[in-house]
Structure 1
Amino acid sequence: MAYACCATKNILRVSQCTRLMSVYPSHYVNPIVEKKLQSTKGNELSHIPIKAAPNDLNDTIFYGQLKQKFLNYITKEGNAVLAKELLTKTFEAIKRTQIERLNLGTADQEKVITDAETLLINAIENSRPLLTLSAIKRGGVKYQVPIPLTERKSYFLAMKWILDAAREKERKVKLPDKLAWEILDAACGQGRVIKKKDDLHRQCETNRAYAHYRWS
């Protein structure tokens, strides 16, 4: 019996040491990835232990936080190589379409944006919902109550809607081409994703009389 107790104590000690060694202590600070903050806060953190930066973060000029998040949502099983390939082909299709518009002269050349990453950011910003409906039960009846979304949730919904709209198109068309069309439409403030966001906001406006149920 005493031997079993000693063995149990040893196992607990080993597990505690392993847990402490795998987690940074509380006095470690988060790493700074953005170059703008590195120049201002670099001297302040020169003598403070810093955590290691995640593998998907870097400080190059080609890194974009929204682009990286969108990249993570493309594939469902976490195939990063395939996701990068699909996103690169999507950017190529967007660039080719915008340059063709410039050469044909069908649109105002000053308003045509040829940077694919800028168009992706504009599409996500235009697709972000501000409110959503949540079912709240009061007196045996469920009411659709409008509630505000957090910034993280709104960005997630915008990226999810763009990808879902692209996957719902014709199966004969490849995903990069379908995704490029959806991004261009959303960047211009039109398309199915923008319509979905407007419909959600319209429903929230219709049910604004139930907004007080959120706190009651």
Structure 2
Amino acid sequence: MLLRKIYQVGYRPTNRLFATFPPSYIHPIFRHADQVALQEANDFERHTFLPVRPANSSQTSSVFYDPLVAKFTNHIMRKGNKILARGLLENTFMEIKRVQLAKYATNPNVELNPYKLLHQAVANSRPFLQTTPIKRGGHTYQVPIPIRPNASLAIALEWLINAGKEKDDDTRFWKQLAKEIIDAAEGVGKVIKRKQDLHRVCEANRAYAHYRWG
């Protein structure tokens, strides 16, 4: 009977038909900061009695969990080899620590935490504008448009990874990636230049910004 309905012309199955859990099931609130926010908003008791979906394997309440590090690991990963991606990122963090400790001898104000440096590097590398081709009157214009936050984060991570791959044959990937993260955290390097070049192109084409709503 179900297959007969599916093959009927114009039949639109509902999400409930194929979903594992009904929409009334909420997603798990596993992070401590989110739980504290619910308690401060006096909304914790209401969530206590709601049905909850099971948490994913990547969702954890550990204090060592960093969403940005987990996303960066997924961007580094190729062909599902997450163990290799984690190893490369761990080596990158160790190289960052080693480089920063060498600077610490002459400058005690150097940041030694590689996690903070990664967050700062990504924040400095995220673009805010990009150009998209829009055709008007037989001509194609490069129109500057704002970038969504999730897309901006993905672009910054990919830029850092690609900059790490642009290396000499005798240089390891994680060493080059560590150098690019340190440079981006300080506001210099290939990734920052690429971001500035993109914003410069958007500035040069700002006269065509009105075509975005045409």
TM-score scaled by length of structure 2: 0.88
Q: Secondary structure at the match of 2:58?
A: coil
Distance in 2 of aligned mates of 1:141 and 1:21: 45
Query: In angstroms, what is the RMSD of aligned CA positions?
Result: 1.7
Distance in 2 of aligned mates of 1:109 and 1:10: 69
Q: CA deviation at 1:149?
A: 0.2
Give the match for residue 163 of structure 1: 161
Of the three residues 129, 137, 140, the one matched with 2:138 is 140
Distance in 2 of aligned mates of 1:22 and 1:158: 34
Give the match for residue 184 of structure 2: 186
Give the match for residue 65 of structure 2: 63
Letter in 1 for 2:58: D
Q: Secondary structure at the match of 2:141?
A: strand
Give the match for residue 4 of structure 1: none
Distance 1:12-1:56 versus aligned 2 partners, 3 A rule? farther
Identity of aligned residues (%): 41
Could you tell which deviates more after superposition, 143-152 or 73-82?
73-82
Give the match for residue 85 of structure 2: 83
Letter in 2 for 1:30: H
Distance in 1 of aligned mates of 2:172 and 2:53: 41
Give the match for residue 35 of structure 1: 32
Deviations 1:80-136 (A, max 9, x none): 111111111100000011111112x0xx322x1000011001000000000000000
Q: CA deviation at 1:24?
A: 1.2
Give the match for residue 3 of structure 1: none
Ranges in structure 2 where 5+ consecutive residues have no aligned partner: 6-12
Aligned pairs for 1:13-52 (under 5 A) are 20=17, 23-39=20-36, 40=39, 41-52=43-54
Give the match for residue 74 of structure 1: 76
Q: Matched residue pairs, number?
A: 200
2:96 matched to 1:97? no
Distance 1:172-1:139 versus aligned 2 partners, 3 A rule? same
Letter in 2 for 1:109: P
Give the match for residue 9 of structure 2: none
Distance in 1 of aligned mates of 2:117 and 2:88: 16
Aligned pairs for 1:195-214 (under 5 A) are 195-214=193-212
Q: Secondary structure at the match of 1:45?
A: helix
Deviations 1:179-210 (A, max 9, x none): 10010000000000000000000110110000
Could you tell which deviates more after superposition, 139-148 or 36-45?
36-45
Q: CA deviation at 1:20?
A: 4.5
Letter in 2 for 1:62: F
Of the three residues 115, 118, 125, the one matched with 1:117 is 115
